[in-house]
Amino acid sequence: MIETVHHLVLHVVFILFSILLFQMFTRESEWDKKRFDLKFLFMNIVILVFTMIFPVVYSSGYVYDFKVVPIIIAFIYGGTRVGFAVFLAMLTIGLFTDHVMLKLIANYTIYCLLLIPLSTWYRKLKWKNKLLLISLFYFFIPVTRALFLIQKNETGQLPLMISSTVIIWLTLISTIYLIENGLEQIRIKKELVKAEKFNVVSQLAASVAHEIRNPMTTVRGFMQLLQGESLSKEQKSFINISIQELDRAQEVINQYLSLAKPQTEEYEVFSVSDALDESVEVMSTYAVMNSIEVKKDIEENLRIKGLSFEVKQVFVNILKNAIEAVKENGEITAAAAGTKDGQIMITIRDNGAGMPPEQVKVLGTPYYSTKEKGTGLGLTVCYQIVKRMNGDIRVKSELNAGTTFTILLPKHT
């Protein structure tokens, strides 16, 4: 029995070492994807080959190994395509090892089909719930085997089955921990880089914004005085353009100051339903000018804790972007509803030009904008406001199909 456990521990070391090697040779950009691909597939196949060639064989037809580990992590981190590729590799290896092919095909076909919806749920869960879900799924395998052994009156095999189950389960949990820890480290690094960018922008704004604003105000005043003089139509046109550009520069400075200024006002409880409704009314004239219809589907009496003028700023900014992204005779939908998990979901959807995935990824970062004359600071401020309220902004977009902004905010009860 002790020798068998030592044999299983050797498999544990090999699997964890393979995971660490994968992390070492995987670039940060590859970790940033929703799912892993070829390197991840290769790693799982290597683990399969090792564990299936050197299994613990109790007797004919009863084989104990770790093949369930690469199968599970292939589906939950690699997706359906990688998962079934690993499944086919397992069947191929099974032809040349001491496995009963009929049992292998029947059992793991069922497991793989169950893993398809399970992997979708898994990606939506938090850390503890992920471990619980995978543990429940894994224990389904040894429980069914234990019932089969009891039915066949082969209870002498149960101690080996229980010990191998515990070791394989601990290996599965350790493997998931290593992968999730790697993903978390990448996420934290990205947050630190983003925070550093915000810090630089804030310092810049605090240093120069006021000094720039004062001479600009003076220049604008003299421009307005010149408008009253006897000037040609062309000269007046030049002055109007100059004033418009000064106003645009003033707006950019205000956005910088919105990033830099500390939050001193206390939060209040207010109706986000009313805030969204008012924001839509404010932007409706701008939409009509561009022949765009704005539809509303707002649930009443949705209340949150925050600053109403800031939340309206977020809505107006996103609605303005949506209007500018939609061509003539387009459509925008503004909706708000409560969710089962105690949040409020605000959705602003348009049928405009849309964006490719690489643009969606960098939305909200300073200096990035899809507009020719944009600074990207408008959305940056929106992301900051929502983050301060413990909320989240999610963006889905497809080229020539439109963009959907989803804002999640904690509901006040």
Whether the pLDDT of residue 375 is over 80: the answer is: no
Query: Which candidate, 265, 263, 255, places its Cα nearest to that of 320?
Result: 255
Q: Give the model's pLDDT for residue 8.
A: 78
Residues with Cβ within 8 Å of residue 400, at least 6 apart in sequence: 353, 354
Q: Which tops the pLDDT comparison, 64 or 260? A: 64
Burial 256-283 (b: 16+ CB within 10 A, else e): bbbbbeeeeeeeeebbbbbbbbebbeeb
Q: What sign does the dihedral 38-39-44-47 (CA atoms) show?
A: positive
**Is residue 122's pLDDT more than 80?**
yes
> How high is the pLDDT of residue 172?
92
64 strand-pairing partners: 56
Q: Give the pLDDT band (50/70/90) at residue 363.
A: confident
**Whether the predicted pLDDT of 61 surpasses 70:** no
Single out the residue of 132, 89, 150, 141 nearest to residue 114, CA to CA: 141
Lowest mean per-residue pLDDT among 155-159, 194-198, 221-225: 194-198
Rg (CA), the chain: 29
What's the chain's average pLDDT?
A: 82
Question: 138 is written with which tokens?
Answer: 């894994």
Q: Single out the residue of 109, 112, 105 nearest to residue 137, CA to CA.
A: 112
Look at 268 and 209; give whichever has higher pLDDT. 268
Quote the percentage of the chain above a pLDDT of 90: 24
Report pLDDT digits (tens) over 134-170: 999 998 888 887 887 788 787 777 887 888 888 889 9
Tokens 């708000």 map to which residue? 336
Cα–Cα distance between 132 and 136 in angstroms, integer?
Answer: 6
Mean pLDDT lowest among 204-208, 236-240, 297-301, 331-335: 204-208
pLDDT at residue 208 in the model:
67
Identify the pLDDT of residue 207: 66
The token pair that represents 141 in the structure block:
């395998």
pTM (2 decimals)? 0.61
DSSP conformational letter for 307? -
User: What is the per-residue pLDDT for 34?
Assistant: 53
Give me the pLDDT at residue 346, please: 95
